[in-house]
Amino acid sequence: MIGLVLLLTVSFCYAMFQGGFVSWFIFYSFLPFSVYASILLFYPLHDFTVERKVNKRECQAGESVEIALKFTRKSRLPLLFMVVEEELPQEMEDRGFQRKIIIFPGFKRTFSMSYTLENLQRGEHSFQSIRFWIGDFFGLVEKEAIYSSPLKITVFPRYHELAYSDLDRVFNQGAVVSTKKTQREHSVVSGVREYQPGDQLSWINWKATARTSEIMTKEFEVQKNRDAFIMLDEKPSDLFEESIVMAASIAHAMLKKGMEIGYVSMGSRLIIPAAAGNNQKRKILYRLVKEEPSVSNALNENVRKGILPANAAVIFIVSDLTLEKVDILSAFRPNQGLMVCVKKQADLTDQERLSSSTAVSRGIKVSFFEHGQLKSDRSEVMAK
């Protein structure tokens, strides 16, 4: 304000003392800009209403979300420009996301802008406020306002479809949840589905195959011999996100087959009881949204208190193999444990091979999922 008054006074004094066409032309040329700046100085920014819309509040990791901002004001005072900045969550700022956009409203009373957040990472992202400011032609006057507009976007972990043969092999090798293969035990047919590698020829439904011109196999009700719980190794690791994806994939596959599955958090005391259905899937995936690497381990307390059912089997998903983790699982569930390592078997160190052998000697089954294959639609399972 002081700079504006000073410039206007200087130009007026120059015109008065110098006289002539040029000096008065300079004064009158600057006068409209100074008047506009003066009006802008008292322009009420609380006159604005801001509305934020998002095309989806829930998505999977790696997907994109489009956010639209709509501004409405009562006055038609022309605005030369307006800079809008979305105050992003800290985790997005750390990844280099910047959402500062300049728009030119002019005489419009309603105007909008939109932007896209690409390749979102797993987690809950909370947006709190929108910051914007306006100014005059020469930058003499700038006004800023911050509007609170809370928004939460939940990004669930990605999961992949595990082939029936993969699921069957893991469960039979690990003795966690058995899918019996005899004709007597497969007498209950729940439906038909497309053929998948590993399906037996005796499972083919020839009538459905003739009707659809595609090979269709019978879908059986899964025989469950005990509750199973997924337990995630939350120690810091470069493969932590791959472990999250594997946990989500196994939970999705088991629940899709009608099995009952629960979840145990090592970093907290939270235990999701075993259940089936889409609601259980959402509970487990939502918990995986919140999981972060942690050096703490609340599992020992859970073991001492005997929170899990006595006959429960545990699928322990780890990013590497150590004797400590073998000891945890063997003390937790002797002969009822399965360790799923998200690492190539060829990349194991000598210490990890020793840990694997120790686990097998204690009745714990060890399976390896190559984390590089999690990016495809099908994951290979190599069970030892």
pLDDT tens for 348-360 read 888 888 888 888 8
Rounded CA gap, 275 and 265, in Å?
16
- The answer, yes or no, to whether residue 318 has pLDDT greater than 50, is yes
For residues 9-41, b (16+ Cβ closer than 10 Å) or e, as one string? eebeeebeeeeeeebbeebeebeebbebbbebe
- The answer, yes or no, to whether residue 370 has pLDDT greater than 70, is no
pLDDT tens for 80-133 read 888 898 888 777 776 767 678 888 888 899 988 888 888 888 999 888 888 888
Q: Any residues with CB less than 8 A from the CB of 26 and at least 6 apart, and which?
A: 11, 14, 15
Tokens 């006057």 sit at which residue?
A: 141
Q: What is the pTM of this model?
A: 0.71
pLDDT tens for 187-246 read 456 678 887 776 777 778 888 888 888 888 877 655 444 578 888 888 888 888 888 998
Tokens 């009006």 sit at which residue?
A: 39
User: What value does the mean pLDDT of the chain take?
Assistant: 77
User: Quick check: 316 and 228 in contact, CB under 8 A?
Assistant: no
- Helix axes 20-41 and 2-18, enclosed angle (nearest 10): 160
- The answer, yes or no, to whether residue 6 has pLDDT greater than 70, is no
